[in-house]
Amino acid sequence: MQEIDQFKERMDGKISHLIDKKRRFYFNVESENLREVAEYLFKNLGCRLSTATAMEMMHGIEILYHFSLDRAGQYFCPRVVITDKEHPKVPSITSIIGGAVWIEREMFDLWGIEFDGHPRMEELLTLHHPQGLKQPMRFGRTE
């Protein structure tokens, strides 16, 4: 696919662990390159940020972003792995994509991931929880 080839060429050396499936393209990206990748996908390719998925794994906390290139029915999924489980932190992409505000707040809320540069880094879902839930999706899961 032309857009994937362009993307690979443009991001050469910045993306790894490529998995190219039918209409799904997964790859890893270091957190320092995340904003550049997000900006290219959103502004240059014209992708829409569908959502992001956080997961706690043995090797760290993963954030898998889901960018949809609607005109081609293609998903680009950059994966950031944060090995510091105690203080997970990644750059926020909200200054590039306004639609990322809620999902970053949700991941901060449920997984305790801090998004550097987020305009309102506070809980989204448990803000008013009577029991004061803290990071309810973090329970030291094992694979």
Partner 1 sequence: MSVNKIPVGPFHPLLEEAEYFELKVDGETVVDIDLEIGWMHRGHEFISESKTFTQSIFLVERICGICSTSHPLALVHAVEDIDNIEIPLRARYIRTLIGELERIHSHLLWIGLAGHFIGYDTLWMWAWKYREPILQMFEMITGNRNHYGMMRVGGVARDVDPVIIPKLLEDLDIVDQKMVMIAGAAKDDPVLRSRLKNVGILTHQAAVDLCAVGPTARASGIAIDVRKDDPTDAYDLVEFNMIVQKNGDVYDKLVVRVLETLESTKIVRQCLEKLKVVKGPILNDVKEVSEGEGIGRYEAPRGEVFHYIRSDGTNRPIRHKVRAPSYVNIPTYVASCKGIPVADALITLAAVDPCYCCTERTIQLIDANRNPVAVDLLKLSREKTEQVRREIHD
Which listed residue (102, 116, 117, 119) binds partner 1 by CB under 8 A?
A: 102
Q: Which segment (8-16, 31-39, 84-92, 123-131) binds partner 1 by CB under 8 A?
A: 123-131
Per CB under 8 A, does 4 bind partner 1? no
Which listed residue (30, 99, 116, 117) binds partner 1 by CB under 8 A?
A: 99
Q: Using only C-alpha atoms, what is the Rg of the chain?
A: 15
Taking the CA of residue 18 as centre, how many other CA atoms within 13 Å lie in the half-sphere pointing to its CB? 12
Which listed residue (8, 26, 36, 121) binds partner 1 by CB under 8 A?
A: 26
Per CB under 8 A, does 97 bind partner 1? yes
Q: Residue 30 phi/psi, 5° resolution? A: -75, 150
How many residues in the shown chain lie near partner 1 by CB under 8 A?
37
Distance between CA 102 and CA 81 in Å, rounded? 20
Per CB under 8 A, does 55 bind partner 1? yes
Residue number, 8 or 26, with CB nearest to partner 1: 26
CB of 114 to partner 1, least distance (A): 19
Per CB under 8 A, does 59 bind partner 1? no
Distance between CA 134 and CA 37 in Å, rounded? 31
Which listed residue (6, 16, 20, 127) binds partner 1 by CB under 8 A?
A: 127
Distance between CA 31 and CA 12 in Å, rounded? 16
Q: Are 71 and 23 in contact (CB under 8 A)?
A: no
Q: Are 96 and 43 in contact (CB under 8 A)?
A: yes
